[in-house]
Amino acid sequence: MAAASAEEAEGAASVRAVDEAVGETSDLKAIATAVIEVDDVTKVYRMGSVEVSALRGVTLSVDRGEMVAIMGPSGSGKSTLMNILGCLDRPTNGVYWLDGVEVSKLGDDQLAEIRNKKIGFVFQSFNLLPRTTALANVELPLLYSNGKDKRKRSLEALARVGLAQRSRHHTNELSGGEQQRVAIARSLINNPSIIIADEPTGNLDSRTSEEIMAIFDELNREESITIILVTHENDIARHAGRIVHLRDGVIESEEVLTP
């Protein structure tokens, strides 16, 4: 794991060096380092005779190991985009390449398989089972796998978010920040290469939000996990290397942040 990501980081650095030498963002970079490529993606929700155009042509590329924040007013299409990026939903039109695979045309089963292998999800409302231990919640995605080491992996995931000592607590006995850490541990259980987090700090106070962001920072920097997060808060977005601003279903602007 560590060797592979170090190699990837090195690869990304050398491609960036080539880009700088050439003086342009070449196709080479896109081919070599982009883990996510969406091209002119649209999403139309149909409810009876009413159509809502939630995305109206989004083109976005995310490099392996990047942290990207998505911002924008309510209804601008952030969650719609996240659902597509997370393979929870398909675009109406346009193309989505994930890790070199065109996922926009895959069937439900194939989409679910890719999702389970590659993507971890974190939501604003934690989505944990109450009156159930932290450990059991983290193990949940392994429900249908028959590995013997479920307990061990679940404990390791809790340790990665600093919660090993709370593993036997029921989730309703935990603070909001601790609950979100359990949710992050659950998202890590299948060792995803990408984490999709839709307003992960939306229900937390600013101090707890920073603690949660410190965990994302660490997963991003030390394990090269690609992180895409939606937030309404500037302070949270500034943890990312880039901020993508959505408005009315299109990308209005992008901001590259210097660390």
Contacts with Mg ion, residue ranges (CB under 5 A): 78-79
Establish if 54 lies at the interface with ligand ATP (CB under 6 A): yes
Choose from Mg ion, ligand ATP, none: what does 52 bind? Cβ within 5-8 Å by kind. ligand ATP
Which amino acid does the sequence have at 37? E
**Nearest distance in Å: CB 10, ligand ATP:** 36
Within 13 Å of residue 153, how many CA atoms lie on the same side as its CB?
Answer: 19
Indicate whether 52 belongs to the interface with ligand ATP (CB under 6 A). yes
Q: Name the binder of 111 from Mg ion, ligand ATP, none, CB < 5-8 A by kind.
A: none
For residue 202, the minimal CB distance to ligand ATP (Å) is 9
Query: Does 65 help bind ligand ATP (rule: CB under 6 A)?
Result: no
d(C-alpha 12, C-alpha 15), whole Å: 5
Instruction: For residue 195, give the nearest of 86, 74, 62, 71 by alpha carbon.
Output: 86
From CA 53, how far away is CA 42, in angstroms rounded? 8
Distance CA 8, CA 99 (A): 13
Calculate ∠ Cα 237-239-241, nearest 5°. 90
Cβ neighbours of 23 (radius 10 Å): 7
Nearer to Mg ion, 79 or 231 (CB): 79
Q: Which two three-digit tokens encode residue 128? A: 């944990």
Q: Return the number of the residue (188 or 228) whose C-beta is nearest ligand ATP.
A: 228
What's the min distance (Å) between Cβ of 209 and Mg ion? 17
Tallying the residues shown for the chain, one arrives at 259
Under the binding rule (CB under 6 A), the answer on residue 258 touching ligand ATP is no
| Closest CB 124 distance from Mg ion, rounded Å | 8
Q: Beta partners for 229?
A: 69, 197
Which of 8, 30, 75, 173 touches ligand ATP by CB under 6 A? 75
Question: Total residues contacting ligand ATP (rule CB under 6 A)?
Answer: 12
Selection from ligand ATP, Mg ion, none that 76 binds (CB < 5 to 8 A by kind) is ligand ATP
Of 70-78, 127-135, 148-156, 237-245, the segment contacting ligand ATP by CB under 6 A is: 70-78
Query: Smallest gap, in angstroms, from Cβ of residue 248 to Mg ion?
Result: 14
Phi-psi label, residue 191: left if phi above 0, alpha if psi -120 to 50, beta otherwise: left
User: Is 187 an interacting residue with respect to ligand ATP (CB under 6 A)?
Assistant: no
**Other CB atoms within 10 A of residue 19 CB:** 16
| CB of residue 47 to ligand ATP, shortest distance in Å | 5
Distance CA 190, CA 41 (A): 28
Q: Which of residues 29-48 bind ligand ATP (CB under 6 A)?
A: 45, 47
Q: Exposed, middle or buried by CB within 10 Å (0-12, 13-18, 19+), for 32?
A: middle
Question: Among residues 19 and 89, whose Cβ is nearest to Mg ion?
Answer: 89
Q: Is 72 in the site for ligand ATP (CB under 6 A)?
A: yes
The whole-angstrom separation of Cα 240 and Cα 69 is 6
Q: Which residues bind ligand ATP (CB under 6 A)?
A: 45, 47, 52, 54, 72, 74-80
